[in-house]
Amino acid sequence: MVYTLAREGTTQWLDKLLEAGEVIAPVRGPCGDVIFSALRSPTQVVWDFENPLPAPKQYVLPQTDPLVKIKLNGQRHEVEPLYDDAPRTLFNVRSCDVKGIAFLTRMHEAEPADASYLRRARNLTIISLACTTPCPAGFCTCTDSGPFLSAGYDVQLTDLGGTFLVEVGSEKGEAAIAKAPDLFRRASEDAVTQRKGLEAVAKTRFGPETCHFGSAMRRVSTGRVQDALWEKMGEWCLECGGCNMVCPTCYCFSVKDLRQNGTWVRCRMWDSCQYTAFTLEASGHNPRANRKERIKRRFFHKVSAQYYTRDSTVGCVGCGRCVKTCLGSTHMPAVVAAIRKGKWHE
């Protein structure tokens, strides 16, 4: 169904959503950054923003994720799974991040399914805000993940000026609308046409970043990237792991037990395939001891045909966050271009 919602109506709708659970939305922080945070009041929501650097994946796959509580009871260890079931709404997320969460969910649904992740994801309602102005570092048209979505959202909002066009894409979306049914009107033909027009214009307003995945995928998958090129690119990586941390589709982790008041809590923590120790074995052997091997692994995973066949998408949603956060210069568009051209910084 497609509705319209008056701009003034968003406050009442958000009030209703807040009654039902936590609402995570872009909020301007104390130092001026816009960050996805738990909303205290509808007035905090930012409507005009460039996609925040920390991805909202934090709310399905937290950086520190408690999985199991372990207690010693006499001689026995008691294990209690920990779940985060809280109903949560992600409000005003961008199209690329909706695709990112869909990617993560697909991966965590695959057998053996990840119960901890899925509880969070299934209790999450995603209300996205289509991008009428693409962000400067974004290249989501190259990854089919924006600036507007045709599916995958629970609700997609498009800012038409005084009103929002509200597209509902799932039962969870219907339920979100049903919390304040009086606010929503059936959308007119004009409103739908206006949305289409905005999408067409948005597609022409992208910045300089492009990412030709097709040819890069062919080269990566057929082993046609010279080792010397990986080595050269590796020299421009400072192993910060930032690309992994901000990436909406990265999910690699390590596990560690946290001692807390006489119990242990087993936590999953974000990890980076660019860290030497990520694949370090107890013997001291490291199958990916050099930077060139690690960077090769990352881009093989992100752009090889093997994963494309399985997921029917590259492991990138074109959000451009790695462009912003890369401490060196080995972000996605730069590396894909180098693979395609067989040259780096020449």
Partner 1 sequence: MVPVPTACPFCACGCGFYLLANQGGLVGVAPSETHPVSLGRLCARGWSAHEAPLWGNRLRQPLVNRNGKLESASWVETLDHVAGRLKEIIDAGKPVGVLGSARATNEENYLAGKLARAGLQTNNLDFSYQSICGPLFTGLEEVGGEATAAISLNDIESSQTILLIEGDLATTHSRAASAVMAAVEKGAHLITIGYTRTQMSRLASLLLPTTPGKEGEVVDGLLASVLNLGLEDRAAVDARCEGYDALRRNLEGVEITAEMRQAAEWIARATRATFLMPPLSGERNPSRRVAAALATLAAITGHLGRPGSGLLPLLARSNVRGACDMGVAPDRLPGYRPLDDQEAQQRLQDLWGKKLPSTPGLDAEGMLQSVSALIVLADDPPSDLPMGHRAMAALEKIEYLVTLDAFLTPTALTADVVLPIASFAETEGTVTSMEGRVQRLHAAVDPPGEARPGWQVLADLCARFELPTAYHAASDVLSEVGRAVPKYARVGQSEDKWGGIGTAKAPNGGKLRLFVAEAPRQAPAEGTHLLVRDGTFDWGRDPLVSFSPTLCRDYQSQRKLFPNGFVEMCKQDADGVGAHPGRPVKLTSVHGNAVVPLRVRPDLQPGVVFVPYAFRDYLVNVLGTESVTAVKVEQA
Which lies closer to partner 1 via its Cβ, residue 9 or residue 242? Answer: 242
Which lies closer to partner 1 via its Cβ, residue 72 or residue 269? Answer: 269
Q: What angle do CA 153, 324, 309 make, to 5 degrees?
A: 50
Give the shortest CB-70-to-partner 1 separation in angstroms: 16
Percentages (nearest 5) of helix, strand, coil residues in the chain? 40, 20, 40
Q: Is 277 in the site for partner 1 (CB under 8 A)?
A: yes
Which lies closer to partner 1 via its Cβ, residue 35 or residue 183? Answer: 35
Cα-Cα end-to-end distance for the chain: 52
Tell which one of 280, 300, 311, 337 touches partner 1 (CB under 8 A): 280
What whole-number distance in Å separates Cα of residue 154 and Cα of residue 247? 22
Give the shortest CB-83-to-partner 1 separation in angstroms: 15
Tell which one of 1, 8, 46, 64 touches partner 1 (CB under 8 A): 64
Amino acid at 85: D
Q: Is 345 in the site for partner 1 (CB under 8 A)?
A: yes
Interface positions, 310-329, toward partner 1 (CB under 8 A): 324-329
Q: Is 229 in the site for partner 1 (CB under 8 A)?
A: no
What whole-number distance in Å separates Cα of residue 342 and Cα of residue 217? 13
Tokens found for residue 60: 């399905």
Neighbour count for residue 122 (Cβ, 10 Å): 12
With 0-12 / 13-18 / 19 or more C-beta atoms within 10 angstroms meaning exposed / middle / buried, residue 297 is middle
The stretch among 56-64, 110-118, 199-207, 222-230 that binds partner 1 (CB under 8 A) is 56-64
Tell which one of 100, 184, 271, 292 touches partner 1 (CB under 8 A): 271
Interface positions, 235-254, toward partner 1 (CB under 8 A): 235-236, 238-242, 245-246, 254
Backbone angles phi, psi at 280, to 5 degrees: -65, 125
CA 132 to chain centre: 19
Binding site for partner 1 (CB under 8 A): 29-33, 35, 37-38, 53-54, 58, 62-64, 235-236, 238-242, 245-246, 254, 256, 258, 269-272, 275-277, 280, 284, 324-329, 345
